[in-house]
Amino acid sequence: MSNARRYPLLTAAEEIDLAQSIERGDLAAKERLINSNLRLVISLARKYQGYGLPLTDLVQEGVLGLIRGVEKFDWRRGYKFSTYGTLWIRQALQRGLANSGRTVRLPVHIDSRSRKIARTERELAAKLGHDPSLDEIAAAVELSVEEVELIRSVDQAPASLDKPVGDSDDSGALGELIAGEGPSPESEVLEAVEEREIEHALVRLPDDERKVVRLRFGLGGEQPAALSEAGRRLGISGERVRQLEQRALERLADDEELRSLRAAA
């Protein structure tokens, strides 16, 4: 762990240069990006002390997640590596702790999706006569393979998120501590799953209603548009936008998938 301080932190431009070199097969660039983020691993690993593994083992698990994050990092998306790598490091830490035999009480919205994946896996095994692959499971539950893997990793989380961290009376819970560092793996998984389900529901809307909903609610990363702005962009009146929006929301209110999503949230 003492070696981590030998490697300076990288600027965003340096991260992009290294990521581009890694795409070309430059192993030295990969090693540098890993080494320059070892301090991030140690910082995150310290948050998980006292839940079943010594710090040295936690760091080893975190490094595995860091390596995976480096391999999956897409510099074209415009965010710093630490933002992306943190998710993979935390996932690896949770998996490592899960192997120590601890249990966790899952939030209901994650638990419902985890149970759906487990049920689908059993049904596929009975139907196919063999253990289904991740691709088969993901296709059956209409999620990506990565989403299925992440939900499974959350399902194996090692400790109660309500367990206090530290000895003082005002110590926060583990879940609060993790949340304070940014979006937790649970929230990121849930956001991805919910976005996928909403997209599925929108596909079933007529084209004009779907466009209105996207503009009015800022879906796809855009800012929500006022009635007049949405009308200007679509070439219709603000009143027509309001009518289409109301009709679309009535359809979505009757959508079974979104009803189950709201019930699980």
CATH no. for residue 225? 1.10.10.10
12 and 97 belong to one structural domain: yes
Which residue, 114, 121, 152, is CA-closest to 136? 121
In this structure, what token pair is assigned to residue 103? 């249990």
Tell me whether residue 196 is in a domain.
no
**77 and 108 fall within a common domain:** no
- Amino acid, single-letter form, for residue 11: T
Task: Looking at the structure, tell me whether residues 30 and 107 fall in a common domain.
Answer: no
Within a domain: 190: no
Residue matched to tokens 């989380």? 157
Q: Give yes or no for residue 185 having a pLDDT over 90.
A: no
Confidence of residue 190 (pLDDT cuts 50, 70, 90): very low
Q: What is the pLDDT of residue 165?
A: 41
Q: Single out the residue in 101, 136, 152 at which a domain terminates.
A: 101
Structural domain includes residue 114: yes
- For 246, the domain range is 204-264
Residue 195 belongs to some domain of the structure:
no
pTM of the model as a whole: 0.41
N- to C-terminal Cα distance for the chain?
A: 40
Verify that 113 and 97 share a domain, yes or no. Answer: no
In a domain, 79, yes or no: yes
Q: Indicate if 144 and 220 belong to the same structural domain.
A: no
| Residues 77 and 151 both lie in one domain | no
Tokens in use for 85? 């790598």
Residue 193 lies in a domain: no
| pLDDT tens readout for residues 64-73 | 989 988 988 8
In a domain, 83, yes or no: yes
What is the tally of structural domains in the chain? 3
Instruction: Report the pLDDT value the prediction gives residue 175, as an integer from 0 to 100.
Output: 46
The reply to whether 146 and 177 lie within a common domain is yes
Same-domain pairing of 107 and 96: no
Same domain, 2 and 96: yes
The CATH number of residue 89's host domain is 1.20.120.1810
96 and 13 together in one domain: yes
Domain boundary among 101, 136, 162: 101
Q: Are residues 67 and 43 in the same domain?
A: yes
Give CA torsion, residues 116, 122, 127, 128, to 10 deg.
110
- Number of residues that make up the chain: 265
Is 188 part of a structural domain of the chain? Answer: no
pLDDT at 154 over 80: no
Quick: pLDDT tens for 54-97.
888 889 889 998 998 898 888 887 778 887 888 888 888 888 87
Compare 183 and 199 and report the one with higher pLDDT.
199
Residue with tokens 């760091």: 59
What pLDDT was estimated at residue 245? 84
- The residue out of 59, 76, 101 marking a domain boundary is 101
Instruction: Answer yes or no: are the C-beta atoms of 86 and 181 closer than 8 Å.
Output: yes
Q: Does 133 share its domain with 179? A: yes
